[in-house]
């Protein structure tokens, strides 16, 4: 299998700015600083049980949805929580 999974996408984006993260969505969703809903900024991690993405503003995020699918931009869905590592 090739490509990138959701936690790998978040890991690589944070590596690019010098922030070290685990390659596990559960750790990414529980570390950093808690960000209240409505206070999220571009670059914050959008967290779900078993899935993460990166908030890009205007109610949207970039994420790797599932194996075999392309990384894409979607509206933030459901009831996520947010974490900040920068």
Instruction: Give yes or no: 47 in active site.
Output: no
Q: Is residue 51 within 8 Å of 5, Cβ to Cβ?
A: no
Catalytic residue chosen out of the listed positions 14, 23, 63, 72: 63
Instruction: Give yes or no: 72 in active site.
Output: no
Catalytic residue chosen out of the listed positions 14, 23, 47, 51: 51
CA geometry: angle 74, 75, 80, nearest 5 deg: 110
Tell me how far apart the alpha carbons of residues 67 and 56 are, in angstroms, rounded to a whole number.
22
Tell me how far apart the alpha carbons of residues 22 and 3 are, in angstroms, rounded to a whole number.
18
Instruction: Give yes or no: 51 in active site.
Output: yes
Catalytic residue chosen out of the listed positions 6, 23, 47, 72: 6
Q: Which residues are catalytic?
A: 6, 51, 63
């Amino acid at each position: 299998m090739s490509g990138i999974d959701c936690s790998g996408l978040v890991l690589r984006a944070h590596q690019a700015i010098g922030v070290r993260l685990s390659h596990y969505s559960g750790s990414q969703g529980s570390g950093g600083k808690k960000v209240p809903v409505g206070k999220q900024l571009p670059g914050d991690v959008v967290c779900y049980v078993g899935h993460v993405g990166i908030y890009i503003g205007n109610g949207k995020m970039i994420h790797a949805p599932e194996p075999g699918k392309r990384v894409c931009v979607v509206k933030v869905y459901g009831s996520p929580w947010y974490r900040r590592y920068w």
